[in-house]
Amino acid sequence: AQKITQTQPGMFVQEKEAVTLDCTYDTSDQSYGLFWYKQPSSGEMIFLIYQGSYDEQNATEGRYSLNFQKARKSANLVISASQLGDSAMYFCAMREGLNTDKLIFGTGTRLQVFP
């Protein structure tokens, strides 16, 4: 079974609008971490935001926020006020347990922001 599922291969959003990128995960661990990374066309992987399984509040970093719904095992990324520079691949990833550094990545969502 997929540990991390990103069901949207591609998304379009108009500049200045908000967009939600979906991510669901599968784990039986109580302690885990969820991450989002951005990969622009230049190829580098850029860390965006982190949510720990015990964090009670949703993580936010500037225009990025993580809509964490533990019971539904979802960790959706919300980008507010989209900019043309947000066009990129976005990857959701999970670290299971406390004693591993292994990140398991989803298949990614390609976001295109249009004027």
Binding site for other proteins (CB under 8 A): 33, 35, 37, 39, 43-47, 50, 89, 91, 95, 98, 100-105, 107-108
- Residues near 7 by beta carbon (within 8 Å), at least 6 away in sequence: 22, 24
Q: What phi and psi values does residue 74 have, to the nearest 5 degrees?
A: -130, 150
Based on CB atoms, which residue is closest to other proteins, 39 or 58? Answer: 39
The sign one gets for the Cα dihedral 54, 78, 21, 69 is: positive
Q: How far is the CB of 13 from other proteins (least distance, A)?
A: 20
State the nearest-atom distance from the C-beta of 45 to other proteins, in Å: 4
